[in-house]
Amino acid sequence: MADLKKLEGSGHETDPYICASCGNCTMVCPTFRLLRWESYGPRGRLQITKSILEGNQELDEEYVRKLFLCSLCEHCTQVCTTSLQLDRFWELIREAAWDLNMVPAPVEYACKSIMKYGDPFSMGSSSRMHWAEGLDIDIQDRIEQPAKTAYFIGCNVAMKPRSHKTAQSLIKILEHSGTDYTILGEKEVCCGGPLIWGGNKKHAPAMAERNIWLYRDLGVERIIFSCPSCIQSWPKTYKEAAGVPVQKEFELLTNSQFIDSLNKRKALKFHEQSNITVTYHDPCISARRLNIISEPREVIEKIPGIYNIDMLHSKEDTRCCGAHGLVNLTDPLISSQIAEMRLRDVSVMPASRVITECPRCLQALELATQTMNYSVQVQDISEIVAESLAEKDEEDDR
């Protein structure tokens, strides 16, 4: 099997032969839609993989680069006529590339940084609480306090300045609803997701478990994530490491699921907004992997004066922002051009804001507003909810 031994016994070794060459996957693939070369799309890459398996082609750097220009958005899996789980197939080949020491240098750097510093940016634990700077709520007592609800901030939200507002907004929502919660502070580490996407899957469970053991000690029962990719990678890593699905031990919720649960028990009070039309961008992992479709829409509809109009490509048919799967490290220009394609979907909507619930989508779409010089406000769902919460005296009047 040439250099693709990873495929042996995985159940995926026959995928290139099962493919019916229908092209459904090609038409939805963001990398193909941008570059318009068959070999950059999923069907083309399957054909190249077949050639490698049959010894007719080398597993070379060009092939690996094409693999890492896949955003692991799962759109190909969603539409595959023959029900191939293509995202897992791409991950397996990335594992082969890692074993062969062939992954793109920025990807290798980020993965090694996670193992050394606990985050992909080499910032270290002393930077974990940067997100709280300027927050007008004292959260020191929340750090490592026993509680049933925990808020997992995640590297992108904790360390990328634009996403600090996401975490601050979620804290405001937790406080407003009177939820007793805990955070891990400087002890929180990466969820391990980027290790899986980088092909270094074997080291991912250790990262998830470092967080999970702390949560167990604090008596945590449910965990809120501001990044759906973190929530996706935990069950994946822990289940295979210890044989216990982490989602059976904890309730794992994204921002929109948590806020929706608060609304259902009437724990949030809102003031009236002044007729703002928004469009909701479903993060690929939220919609296609975690099936979180109704919750964000219900959260938006609950705010008086805010209206959501869905884009043509939304829900399970959402289009990738280009920043998942480490594409943004492999080729930042291609990543940002994919984000621009998604922003064009936004630009035909009568919306003054685009709302999402993923820090990568948020940062990619906001960058695209600048590169395209297109004016639309990009917000995490926690931000629009927090800015719509009634002040204390407004609550008392109700």
**Chain contacts with ligand SF4 (rule: CB under 6 A):** 19-25, 28-31, 42-43, 46, 70-76, 79-82, 84, 86-87, 90
- Considering the complex, state which of residue 188 and residue 340 has its C-beta at the smaller distance from ligand SF4: 340
In the complex, least distance from residue 397 CB atom to ligand SF4, rounded to whole angstroms:
49
Nearest to 211 by CA among 147, 142, 129, 154: 154
In the complex, least distance from residue 211 CB atom to ligand SF4, rounded to whole angstroms:
26
**Interatomic CA distance for residues 16 and 5, integer angstroms:** 15
Asked if residue 349 lies in contact with residue 279, where contact means CB atoms within 8 angstroms, the answer is yes
Please enumerate in sequence order all residues whose Cβ is within 8 A of that of 216, keeping only pairs 6 or more positions apart, or say none: none
- Considering the complex, state which of residue 82 and residue 275 has its C-beta at the smaller distance from ligand SF4: 82
- Considering the complex, state which of residue 4 and residue 223 has its C-beta at the smaller distance from ligand SF4: 4
Residue 116 class from Cβ within 10 Å (0-12 exposed, 13-18 middle, 19+ buried)?
Answer: exposed
- Considering the complex, state which of residue 35 and residue 390 has its C-beta at the smaller distance from ligand SF4: 35
- Considering the complex, state which of residue 40 and residue 270 has its C-beta at the smaller distance from ligand SF4: 40
CA distances from 388 to 177, 186, 187, 342 (A): 13, 30, 32, 27
What is the distance in angstroms between the CA of the first residue and the CA of the last residue of the chain? 69
Asked if residue 280 lies in contact with residue 297, where contact means CB atoms within 8 angstroms, the answer is yes
- Considering the complex, state which of residue 73 and residue 339 has its C-beta at the smaller distance from ligand SF4: 73
Q: Which residue in this structure is represented by tokens 């960058």?
A: 367
Torsion, CA 99, CA 234, CA 66, CA 57, rounded to 10: 40
In the complex, least distance from residue 344 CB atom to ligand SF4, rounded to whole angstroms:
17
In the complex, least distance from residue 140 CB atom to ligand SF4, rounded to whole angstroms:
42
- Considering the complex, state which of residue 38 and residue 310 has its C-beta at the smaller distance from ligand SF4: 38
Output the six-digit token pair for 325.
Answer: 């799967």
In the complex, least distance from residue 353 CB atom to ligand SF4, rounded to whole angstroms:
26
- Considering the complex, state which of residue 22 and residue 348 has its C-beta at the smaller distance from ligand SF4: 22
Nearest to 340 by CA among 369, 318, 309: 369
- Beta partners for 252? 223
In the complex, least distance from residue 320 CB atom to ligand SF4, rounded to whole angstroms:
6
CA distances from 397 to 79, 269, 271, 392, 394 (A): 51, 11, 11, 9, 5
In the complex, least distance from residue 6 CB atom to ligand SF4, rounded to whole angstroms:
17
- Considering the complex, state which of residue 211 and residue 335 has its C-beta at the smaller distance from ligand SF4: 335
**Interatomic CA distance for residues 122 and 46, integer angstroms:** 35
- Beta partners for 267? none
Asked if residue 299 lies in contact with residue 263, where contact means CB atoms within 8 angstroms, the answer is yes
- Beta partners for 279? 354
- Considering the complex, state which of residue 21 and residue 291 has its C-beta at the smaller distance from ligand SF4: 21
> How many Cβ atoms from other residues are within 10 Å of residue 252's Cβ?
20
In the complex, least distance from residue 83 CB atom to ligand SF4, rounded to whole angstroms:
8
In the complex, least distance from residue 18 CB atom to ligand SF4, rounded to whole angstroms:
7
